[in-house]
Amino acid sequence: MSASARSSFRHEALVYRSPDELLAGTVPFVRGGLEADEPVLVAVPPGSMEPIRSALGDSAGRVRFVDMTEAGRNPGRIIPGVLHSFVSQHTPQRVRIVGEPIWAGRTAAEYPACVQHEALINLAFADADLVILCPYDARRLAGEALADAERTHPLIATGEGRRASTAYAAPQAVVAEFNRPLTDPATPPATLIFDADDLPAVRRFVAGHAGRAGLPTGRIADLEVAVNEVATNTVTHGGGPGTLRVWRERGGVICEVCDPGQLTDPLAGRIPPDPHSEHGRGLLLVNHMCDLVRVHTDHKGTTVRMYMYMRA
């Protein structure tokens, strides 16, 4: 990739304090892309999407709109399923994306994964011909979220103009800071120790407990596939045996797999592998299937926690 292509990547946070400031920051950005014949994606929650679509008028038909509360419910799904997908579809064209991955409805469990996602954008697309603008609603988000936006975006735009972020940090450092031990469940989970010969038992264990918790049938099947992928990786690469824990919490079912291995690639499960590669799809599939995936890894081992909500 040429130096000019590398330098064309830009990742900017738009901190807005009113609907007018949201439109003042996003609509000219979108129109500028359309005028330059650049493909434009707007991936935001419905509360942001509809005002932007309306303000664009007839031009909205040339923009791809995605509901981020669905496509990006799991922050680990945004890079591969939303951003990378759009960029790869339009290579070698320069593209523009408005992406709002952090909104007031995000849970405490989702938030650390959101910050890691924002940091990893800077690694995943460092060589891409891409400009991405990330709105942050200063009226509804906590000060912590606005401070973290400064650390994950090299540029900050507000109603007063654009500036370089003096708090911007290396992506690896931000990812490491949010690589925190996961809190234990409030109630004792069901537990299964497994090895290579026990993968059928792993799937039955997940299906049984998820079914008794009331998870819809289709969601049980997705959770089985996701847990099987992580368990297979455990017995293949994680130095097994592994430990599977399952419990119900906050309207969903959570499955957790722990093993003695260490996950060293922060982009694992975020970047689709080469089509001819036989490896690298496990965590990608897990992120696609689950509503949230949290990972903690260190020299003692790796924990992958998979959340599946009760919605049909």
| Domain of residue 288, CATH code | 3.30.565.10
4 pLDDT tier (thresholds 50, 70, 90):
very low
> Same domain for 49 and 169?
yes
Closest among 156, 159, 169 to 11, alpha carbons compared: 156
Q: Per the domain annotation, does 281 fall within a domain?
A: yes
Q: In what order do the strands lie in the sheet with 130-137?
A: 64-67, 40-44, 95-99, 130-137, 10-16, 155-158, 161-164
Query: Which one has a higher pLDDT value, 237 or 190?
Result: 190
Q: Per the domain annotation, does 51 fall within a domain?
A: yes
Q: Per the domain annotation, does 183 fall within a domain?
A: no
pLDDT at 195 over 60: yes
- Rounded average pLDDT over 273-277: 67
Domain count along the chain: 2
- Boundary (domain end) residue, out of 177, 207, 233: 177
- Rounded average pLDDT over 281-309: 95
Token pair 């455990």: residue = 234
- Rounded average pLDDT over 203-211: 97
- High-pLDDT (> 90) share of the chain, %: 89
At 261, the amino acid letter reads G
> Same domain for 23 and 149?
yes
pLDDT at 120 over 80: yes
Task: Write the CATH number for 113.
Answer: 3.40.50.300
Listing DSSP states for 66-79 in one string gives EEHHHHTSSGGGHI
Domain coverage including residue 155: 3-177
pTM: 0.93
> Same domain for 199 and 286?
yes
- High-pLDDT (> 70) share of the chain, %: 95
pLDDT at 274 over 80: no
> Same domain for 173 and 197?
no
pLDDT in tens, 210-232: 999 999 999 999 999 999 999 99
